[in-house]
């Protein structure tokens, strides 16, 4: 059974095919209106979400399928002590595919080992968020027309930001990409992610110094929910705020991305700048998840027939 737990679960060829299909879905959505007719997506969200859950649901409905699930752990039998392993055994009886978000690193991987249906990791703690990466790759490809030979700046909470971990891992597989990691010393990128870049990345605390050399700037929120103490969060949360003045140092073709939600790290005055692509990025999330649902369900069906 094929799952998506980590961005490296898909080859470059598979990622290219997903992006191509998502671009085709954007061009002619009516062609895909019944592609998942009769299929059921379960959304198991043990942590809050706006974009990921709703775009998954919108994706399945747009493909003619149906959706069931829960939006918080309190609405499930997890409150009675049921394990992820037992929950996915049950969900395998009721749905054809599942997207799971969980506060614990590795939860989706555990689920995949007990599941009879494809499991998609919709975010596991501070670890990985592979479907945000698919969204990011589609967005970058749409504006740069390539995923190679680019300079990427990542700014903010690089320690707990799972979207950063997944995207760096994915982009490191493409040749000639360069990485600039900008964060406070306490929120540096974990070594296991940094080493994916072949340890060629630049690390800095200064956004202004480096913004002029970037093709893509990926801003991130300081992940309050992963902090052990509120004082540290308050001290670090507004360390980087992208505003018009800082953006004036950047290239005309810079792409500013953010996985969202935004708190204060991009000033609203930046929203009107043509380089601000984060809302477009969120829109693309629906189309790439449509392509993903189709791929995993097609593969599960082929396996069932074999
Ligand atoms: N980007 C992202 O994961 O957003 P949500 O937490 O709203 O799903």
Predicted confidence pLDDT, tens digits, the chain (306 residues) = 999 999 999 999 999 999 999 999 999 999 999 999 999 999 999 999 999 999 999 999 999 999 999 999 898 899 999 999 999 999 999 999 999 999 999 999 999 999 999 999 999 999 999 999 999 999 999 999 999 999 999 999 999 999 999 999 999 999 999 999 999 999 999 999 999 998 789 999 999 999 999 999 999 998 888 777 888 888 878 889 999 999 999 999 999 999 999 999 999 999 999 999 999 999 999 999 999 999 999 999 998 888
Domain 130-275 has CATH 3.20.20.70: no
Atom of ligand 1 nearest to the CA of 54: 8
Closest among 98, 160, 93, 83 to 127, alpha carbons compared:
160
| Start and end residues for every CATH 3.40.50.1370 domain found in the chain | 7-125+285-305, 130-275
Active-site positions? 51-52, 80, 101, 129
CA of 103 to the centre of ligand 1 (A): 13
With DSSP H G I counted as helix, E B as strand and the rest as coil, what are the percentages for the chain, rounded to 5? 50, 15, 35
Task: Name, in order, each residue with C-beta under 8 angstroms of 110's C-beta and a sequence gap of 6 or more.
Answer: 84, 85
52 lines ligand 1 (CB under 6 A): yes
- Sign of the C-alpha dihedral computed for residues 165, 110, 70 and 227 taken in this order: negative
pTM: 0.96
50 lines ligand 1 (CB under 6 A): yes
What pLDDT is stored for residue 199 in this prediction? 74
What pLDDT is stored for residue 232 in this prediction? 81
b or e along 102-139 (b: 16 or more beta carbons within 10 Å of the residue's beta carbon)?
Answer: beeeebbbbbbeebebbbbbbbbbbbbbbbbbbbbbbb
Neighbouring-strand partners of residue 182? 155, 204
What is the rounded distance in angstroms from the CA atom of residue 217 to the CA atom of residue 205?
14
Residue nearest to atom 4 of ligand 1 (CA): 51
CA of 52 to the centre of ligand 1 (A): 5
* Six token digits for residue 163: 């979207």
What pLDDT is stored for residue 200 in this prediction? 83
* Six token digits for residue 117: 């249906």
Closest among 213, 161, 210 to 187, alpha carbons compared:
161
What pLDDT is stored for residue 34 in this prediction? 98
What pLDDT is stored for residue 226 in this prediction? 79
What is the rounded distance in angstroms from the CA atom of residue 45 to the CA atom of residue 40?
16
Atom of ligand 1 nearest to the CA of 48: 6
Domain 7-125+285-305, CATH among 2.30.30.30, 3.40.50.410, 3.40.50.1370, 3.40.50.1170: 3.40.50.1370
CB 209: neighbour CB atoms within 10 A? Answer: 13
Residue nearest to atom 5 of ligand 1 (CA): 49
Decide: residue 255, CB within 10 A, 0-12 exposed, 13-18 middle, 19+ buried: buried
Atom of ligand 1 nearest to the CA of 55: 8
The helix (H) or strand (E) run that includes residue 127 is none
Closest among 296, 243, 248 to 117, alpha carbons compared:
296
CA of 53 to the centre of ligand 1 (A): 8
């Amino acid at each position: 059974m094929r799952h998506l737990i980590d961005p490296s679960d898909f080859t470059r060829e598979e990622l290219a095919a997903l992006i191509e299909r998502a671009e085709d879905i954007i061009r002619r959505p009516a062609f895909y209106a019944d592609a998942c007719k009769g299929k059921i997506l379960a959304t198991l969200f043990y942590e809050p979400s706006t974009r990921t859950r709703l775009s998954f649901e919108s994706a399945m409905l747009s493909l003619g399928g149906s959706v069931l699930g829960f939006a918080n752990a309190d609405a499930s039998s997890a409150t009675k002590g049921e394990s992820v392993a037992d929950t996915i055994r049950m969900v395998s009886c009721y749905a054809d595919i599942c997207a799971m978000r969980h506060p614990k690193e590795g939860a989706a991987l555990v689920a995949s080992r007990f599941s009879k249906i494809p499991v998609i990791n919709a975010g596991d703690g501070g670890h990985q968020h592979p479907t945000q990466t698919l969204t990011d790759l589609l967005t970058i490809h749409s504006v740069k027309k390539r995923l190679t030979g680019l300079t990427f700046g990542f700014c903010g909470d690089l320690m707990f930001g799972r979207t950063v971990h997944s995207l760096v891992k994915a982009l490191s597989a493409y040749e000639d990409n360069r990485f600039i990691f900008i964060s406070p010393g306490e929120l540096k990128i974990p070594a296991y992610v940094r080493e994916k870049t072949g340890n060629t990345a630049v690390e800095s605390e200064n956004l202004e110094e480096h913004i002029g050399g970037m093709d893509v700037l990926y801003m991130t929120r300081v992940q309050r929910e992963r902090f052990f103490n509120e004082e540290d969060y308050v001290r670090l949360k507004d360390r980087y705020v992208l505003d018009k003045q800082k953006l004036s140092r950047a290239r005309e073709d810079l792409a500013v991305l953010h996985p969202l939600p935004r708190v204060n790290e991009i000033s609203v005055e930046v929203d009107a700048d043509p380089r601000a692509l984060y809302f477009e990025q969120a829109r693309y999330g629906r189309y790439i998840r449509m392509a993903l649902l189709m791929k995993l369900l097609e593969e599960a069906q082929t396996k069932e027939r074999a």
